Chain A
């Protein structure tokens, strides 16, 4: 790869300078930091709460930019990697390759993964801020947006997040026990990638799932499942569908699956054309859906599994079964029309026309939501911690000058629950740039130049509280055992799905 050519035209120079400009701040920070460490001869101690992609990318960048730093990554689970382990679908193993990069970070000398530590109950945020120079909150979004419609608490209705935790063996999803045996129809509300994952896991041949790292209890339930039809319901049209091309292409390509898309739903308006012109993703999604609508037979063959894309329908209420009181029997849907709300965006408006869609199980895939903790400012409307470039603000007033020194956010807790694993790379870059600037300018807080107890202090407090900390070597024991159990069943791993099993394996 050649370096920049200063005699080339101005047009060609600009992107090179943009690329070169990236290099500058890092070196500058390191030079300044080295002078800091000769004056203050104690390590820069950082605690990152959350060991998913946001946490690990942040750790990697802090370690790189601050040579004297000591970084601890804590997680409430005994296992690291967040949604890479518990969110990415079992039939997407290559998406999990990033774990290799993260485990190299965890194994580097100045970094420690410490599992089974819950922010709030094992240790408070106030305590962490006393123990470390910098605390970065990267604990994601472990709750759900709600529809707020009647019947939402009927049995047989689950959030997609819980369902994904269930088939991915998350210990908090172990007892979901979804009933897949008393119905042939599942309705999924939402058309994002999580909705597609759920549809695919419900419709895929279990013989294909058997050789993945899907949780064994889920595989058994799916093998006994009577579900044959899945409806993916979206409020808006195919141009606005939230899924991305790779995932859509995959679900449309499932062998022996009947795909149904109403041709009338594919009609596009000038506003739709504008949306597609300015967004390559939406244009390609629309093209994939159009092709799928006309390819293939117009009726399913006998016994064939079915996937229906339903557009322009929003849920008004859930319907209760007459025979099984307290159980869902369908969704009452309202037809929608699109209305422009400026800057190219269109929203769904109800038209007052309704129809019912029967089902025995309904999954809400309408978005994750973060959970606030004591002592942390929180924007309930957006579901994020108020921040500017990752620096936590003291309240929701929007005043960018009222900053909580030494406290930062990264990942979904900072940006909201959107994006892919790689989105966190840029998110971490921004947060760590803020941290480094604040270190340079000495604005971390009153104790910036004083030593902090860090890891030793944290471990002492946790020992006094009898918290069983799981270090990275504990995870390595879990990992080895899961792989061993997997080899007995032709799976890459057989996940341990209860807290007891995990903690036991971690300490053996």
Chain B
């Protein structure tokens, strides 16, 4: 299932926005993903509530190895880390 059909994808997957920003909740799954390209990193720079396991949803292509991946979307308020919480890799 393409993540972008569920959440905002203003640029429709063309790496021109960060509205499909998701947080990979388990480090084990985060490391299974290919490293983000420069272009994806450029967009992640601008994402609200950026974490160490953030990715653009439109760049996560579903495949069998990712079955069970859990993704969170950042809080809608601008101060996502208002309680200082940063998901830590385990």
- Which chain B residues lie closer than 8 Å to A325 at the CB level? none
CB within 8 Å of A: which B38-78 residues = 38-39, 41-43, 45-46, 48, 50, 68-73, 75-78
The SS class assigned to the B binding surface is loop
Complex CA–CA separation, A22 to B41 (angstroms): 26
| Alpha-carbon distance between A36 and B70 when the two chains are bound, in angstroms | 37
> Which of A15, A21, A280 is within 8 Å of B45, CB to CB?
A280
Tell me the nearest residue of chain B to A21, going by C-beta.
B75
Give the most central of B3, B69, B75: most A CB within 10 Å.
B75
A346 within 8 A of B: no
Taken together as a complex, chains A and B put the C-alpha atoms of A80 and B21 apart, in Å, by: 27
The answer for the CA separation of A263 and B13 in the assembled complex, in Å, is 37
Q: How far is the CA of A427 from the CA of B16 in the complex (A)?
A: 19
A15, A95, A100: which contacts B17 (Cβ < 8 A)? A95
Interface string of A1-21 (1 = CB under 8 A from B): 110110001011011101101
- Asked if B32 CB lies within 8 Å of chain A CBs, one says no
Residue of B nearest to A92 (CB): B16
Given contacts A97-B14, A245-B45, A281-B46, contact A19 B72 (CB under 8 A): yes
Are A2 and B68 CB-contacts (below 8 A) given A22-B75, A92-B16, A95-B11?
Answer: yes
Residue in B closest to A101 when the chains form the complex, CB atoms? B10
**A11-B88, A422-B18, A426-B77 are known contacts. Are A16 and B11 too (CB-CB below 8 A)?**
no
Interface size on B, residues (CB 8 A): 39
Residues of B within 8 A of A423 (CB): 48
Q: Is the CB of B72 within 8 A of A430?
A: no
Output the nearest chain B residue to A428 by Cβ-Cβ distance: B76
Residues on B with beta carbons closer than 8 Å to the beta carbon of A292: none
Q: Mark B1-38, 1 if CB is under 8 A from A, else 0.
A: 10100101011101111110001011000000000001
Q: A2-B68, A16-B25 are in contact. Are A95 and B90 (CB under 8 A)?
A: no
When the two chains form their complex, are residues B76 and A1 in contact, meaning their CB atoms are under 8 A apart?
no
Known: A245-B41, A249-B38. A426 touches B17 (CB 8 A): no
A13: nearest chain-B partner, CB-CB: B25
Docked-complex contact B19 and A245, CB < 8 angstroms? no
Knowing A1-B70, A97-B11 touch, does A420 contact B17 (C-beta < 8 A)?
Answer: yes
B17 in contact with A1 (CB, 8 Å): no
A208 at the interface (CB under 8 A from B): no
User: Which A residues between 404 and 424 are near B, CB-CB below 8 angstroms?
Assistant: 420-423
Q: Does A98 contact B (CB under 8 A)?
A: yes
Contact indicator B70/A426 (Cβ below 8 Å): no
Contact of A245 among B42, B71, B72, B77 (CB under 8 A): B42
Q: How far is the CB of B4 from chain A (nearest CB, A)?
A: 11
Q: Does A356 contact B (CB under 8 A)?
A: no
Q: Are A2 and B42 in contact (CB under 8 A)?
A: no
Q: Is the CB of B11 within 8 A of A19?
A: no
Measured CA separation A235–B12 after assembly (Å): 36
Residue among A1, A9, A97 making CB contact with B10, cutoff 8 Å: A97
A465 interface hit (Cβ, 8 Å)? no
Q: Which residues of A contact B76 (CB under 8 A)?
A: 22, 426, 429-430, 433
Give every chain B residue within 8 A of A420 (Cβ-Cβ): 17-18, 46
A284 contacts B by Cβ under 8 Å: yes
B42 and A246 within 8 A (CB): yes
3 A-B pairs closest in CB distance: A94-B14, A429-B76, A245-B42
Can you name 27 A-B residue pairings with CB atoms under 8 Å?
Answer: A4-B70, A9-B90, A11-B87, A15-B72, A18-B85, A19-B72, A22-B76, A94-B14, A94-B15, A95-B16, A97-B16, A98-B11, A98-B17, A244-B42, A245-B45, A280-B50, A281-B45, A421-B10, A422-B8, A422-B10, A425-B8, A426-B76, A426-B77, A429-B76, A429-B77, A430-B76, A433-B76
Give me the interface of B with A, judged by CB distance under 8 Å.
Answer: 1, 3, 6, 8, 10-12, 14-19, 23, 25-26, 38-39, 41-43, 45-46, 48, 50, 68-73, 75-78, 85, 87-88, 90
